A and B are shown apart, each in its own frame.
Chain A
Amino acid sequence: MQQMIYAVLTIVGGVLACVAYFWGTNFILDRIFPPKGPTAAAASRNLRTANAIRPWLFLAPALFALTIYLVYPVVESVWLSLHDRAGQNFVGVRNYQWMVNDGEFRQSIFNNFLWLLVVPALSTFFGLVIAALTDRIWWGNIAKTLIFMPMAISFVGAAVIWKFIYDYRAEGSEQIGLLNAIVVAFGGEPQAWITLPFWNNFFLMVILIWIQTGFAMVILSAALRGIPEETIEAAVIDGANGWQIFFKIMVPQIWGTIAVVWTTITILVLKVFDIVLAMTNGQWQSQVLANLMFDWMFRGGGDFGRGAAIAVVIMVLVIPIMIWNIRNATKEMGGR
């Protein structure tokens, strides 16, 4: 209970501090450079100076937090990746050399590429199909809500849900995991799914696809609705069938949105950590970069050099998408 009081006090204190800062600095600024002056020229000069300073007062707290929590760490991580485990001695690229020769790292890179190939593709595909199908039926919105729902569930919660589905009991005893029950019902042998090397990657991917399809569906559904009616009507008049309308008229018009969904999920995949930690913790050859990085951060007291080097690899994989995003955003915001 004490911590709740602490939390409430922090909320009140934090909000008051923000208000005090923004109001206070504005007040002081207006005092130092009053918009009234002895002469009109002085007044307008004051006004201009104040207007040049004010944006930075508004921005300062945010810039400060962004610098401490995101900009500085990026630089520092790159720097640390060139140092030894305690971050003291410069070791050059030795951490990267170690990485290239490390079997577990190679395994993680391989698995990460599998994830990158499968998860964004299937999530986007299912999202698109569901978006297109639910637009045609009266209970489409209910269906969408239910498919969107896993979005709210934590990765760990989802891991428990799916671990229950993959649960394995020895052959002969009754299976309580849905997947094994189905396999047995069709005369197959029950398997401990998440311990099967290589294939277990796909059983973990299913979880992320399950979560992310809702996201893809929501964005793509909005994009499909934004397609001008005339283009579809024209296609209908020209005698196009349902498939042709969907793939040749509708999909090409939302390529941009599909790319956005794809890249957003790609970035999420690179950061996926909770699912692997909760399901296998990298055992049975299911390791991925983010979990390996976390592992090295604390393994044997923590190896900051290797951990940072793995983080830098993740960052490098993200950079192309980052540049693409910045380009699109500036293009779009240029026109305001």
Chain B
Amino acid sequence: MSPSTRSPLTWAVHLSVLLLVLLWTLPTAGLLISSLRDKDQLAVSGWWTALSSSSRNAVARAPSAESQVERDGKFVISGSLLEGQGGQVSAFGFSSREPARFKPGETAELNDGDRLTVQADGSFEIVSDTRMEGSRGQRIFFTASTPPRFTIDNYVEVLSAAGIGQSFLNSLTVAVPSTIIPILIAAFAAYALAWMPFPGRAILLAVVVGLLVVPLQMSLIPLLKLYNGVGAFFGVSAKTYFGIWLAHTGFGLPLAIYLLRNYMAGLPREIMESARVDGASDFEIFVKIVLPLSFPALASFAIFQFLWTWNDLLVALVFLGAGDDELVLTGRLVNLLGSRGGNWEILTASAFITIVVPLIVFFALQRYLVRGLLAGSVKGG
């Protein structure tokens, strides 16, 4: 392939990869940008316009006649339509039929003879020759363009008011023990399956591989019954953190055993044999040699299990209560989708909080994740 024929093809490759990357990242980017926008702007314009100023039609009411001041023999009510929000008024009017009849700086003659002037910066004056009356202020319609505004208000709101802060702690409470508890149990079992000969080992391995793909749905109803029975027997709630930790442990074990066994089986036989010649027992070999050498596989599994338990919705819905002190982030997000479905400032900020921890784990430990994926999928052919 000479450079001249390769060049257009290379460009096509660059372009198509760029397109694919955009396609895959834009959805998340849109969420992040939206969560940082002012909620009034978010509701009326797409996130891709976040950097340009948005124009909105609004209506304001001038202060009532009580606030008028006398100046040079005339009576004046003044104020600002934009109230320090920044931006520009591009048109105004005083009736809903013609809300944009006047340009800023022009003077509009109101129905009762008063004169309304609105400047581009939003300040307005109503001037009258006689003392104004009435308890309701004049309505002023205007079109304003607002500069882009970014804020962390949405995050402040969801963390406190929407209960996301508490759910964050709940998710952490579920995920961390569920990640750590299975590791030791699985490591011992994996060592036995990799390096200790015993009758039935091949069958056990086959069973573990089979259990890898058992749908969770099969386990839900029997375990729910079991938990209810145990709860009733001991007079405690059937839905506890302890219960979900054990459930996640059970569901995570097949992958843990499979991953760790494959890794341990690949360790060099000589190390173990020389240790055995030196009089080390299986227990010592495992704790002093195999466990430290298996660190990469342990890390891979830990990442998987953490991501899976953090992102899980099904197990949490079944085995954990819906109370404020037990609802996990994913469950809370589903509830918000139902109750605050139109409030995108709440949803986007909440969603970003739920995905930020997995994203940090992902970017920090991607190496181990990839290694685990490659070892964890049953090889074919």
Residues of B within 8 A of A147 (CB): 20-21, 24
Task: State whether A242 and B9 are in contact (beta carbons under 8 Å apart), knowing that A146-B21, A267-B213 are contacts in the complex.
Answer: yes
Closest to A77 in B: B218
Interface flag for B111 (CB, 8 Å): no
Instruction: Say whether A14 contacts B283, CB under 8 Å.
Output: no
Q: Most chain-B Cβ atoms within 10 A of its Cβ — which of A149, A175, A260?
A: A149
Instruction: Say whether B221 contacts A77, CB under 8 Å.
Output: yes
Contact of A218 among B24, B344, B374 (CB under 8 A): B374
Dominant secondary structure at the B interface: helix
B contacts, CB < 8 Å to A: 9-10, 13-14, 16-18, 20-21, 24-28, 30-31, 34, 42-48, 169-170, 172-173, 176-177, 180-182, 184-186, 188-189, 191-193, 196, 198, 201-202, 204-226, 241-242, 245-247, 249-251, 253-254, 257, 265, 281-283, 286, 307, 310-314, 317-318, 325, 330, 333-334, 337, 344, 347-348, 350-351, 354-355, 358-359, 361-363, 366, 369-370, 373-374, 377-381
Instruction: Say whether B214 contacts A174, CB under 8 Å.
Output: no
Closest to A253 in B: B381
Interface flag for A195 (CB, 8 Å): no
Residues of A within 8 A of B182 (CB): 65
Instruction: Say whether A259 contacts B380, CB under 8 Å.
Output: yes
A218 nearest CB across to chain B (Å)? 5
Instruction: Say whether A4 contacts B173, CB under 8 Å.
Output: yes
Residues of B within 8 A of A315 (CB): 214-215, 217-218
User: How far, in whole Å, are A188 and B145 apart by their CA atoms in the complex?
Assistant: 27
Interface flag for A66 (CB, 8 Å): yes
Residues of A within 8 A of B381 (CB): 255-257, 259, 328
Residues of B within 8 A of A162 (CB): 27
Task: State whether A307 and B221 are in contact (beta carbons under 8 Å apart), knowing that A160-B348, A256-B380, A328-B378 are contacts in the complex.
Answer: yes
Instruction: Say whether A55 contacts B198, CB under 8 Å.
Output: yes
Contact of B31 among A62, A68, A161 (CB under 8 A): A161
Q: Knowing that A130-B20, A146-B25 are A-B contacts, what are 9 other residue pairs whose CB atoms are under 8 Å apart, sorted by A's residue number?
A: A14-B177, A18-B185, A66-B207, A154-B311, A154-B313, A165-B30, A218-B373, A242-B9, A294-B314
Interface flag for A186 (CB, 8 Å): no
Residues of B within 8 A of A322 (CB): 210, 213-214
Instruction: Say whether A70 contacts B254, CB under 8 Å.
Output: yes
A contacts, CB < 8 Å to B: 1, 3-4, 6-7, 10-11, 14-15, 18-19, 22-23, 26, 30, 51-52, 54-56, 58-59, 61-63, 65-66, 68-74, 76-77, 80, 87, 126, 130, 133-134, 136-137, 140, 143, 145-157, 159-165, 167, 174-178, 181, 210, 213-215, 218-219, 222, 242, 255-257, 259-261, 263-264, 267, 270-271, 273-274, 277-278, 290, 293-294, 297, 304, 307-308, 310-312, 314-315, 318, 321-322, 324-326, 328-330, 332-334, 336
Closest to B348 in A: A164
User: How far, in whole Å, are A147 and B17 apart by their CA atoms in the complex?
Assistant: 10
Residues of B within 8 A of A76 (CB): 221-222, 225
Instruction: Say whether A325 contacts B27, CB under 8 Å.
Output: no
User: How far, in whole Å, are A157 and B350 apart by their CA atoms in the complex?
Assistant: 9
Chosen A-B contacts, 12 in total, with CB atoms closer than 8 Å, are: A65-B249, A76-B222, A77-B218, A147-B21, A149-B25, A157-B355, A178-B48, A222-B374, A314-B215, A325-B209, A325-B378, A330-B202
Instruction: Say whether B24 contacts A145, CB under 8 Å.
Output: no
Instruction: Say whether B177 contacts A143, CB under 8 Å.
Output: no
Instruction: Say whether A130 contacts B221, CB under 8 Å.
Output: no
Instruction: Say whether A145 contacts B366, CB under 8 Å.
Output: yes
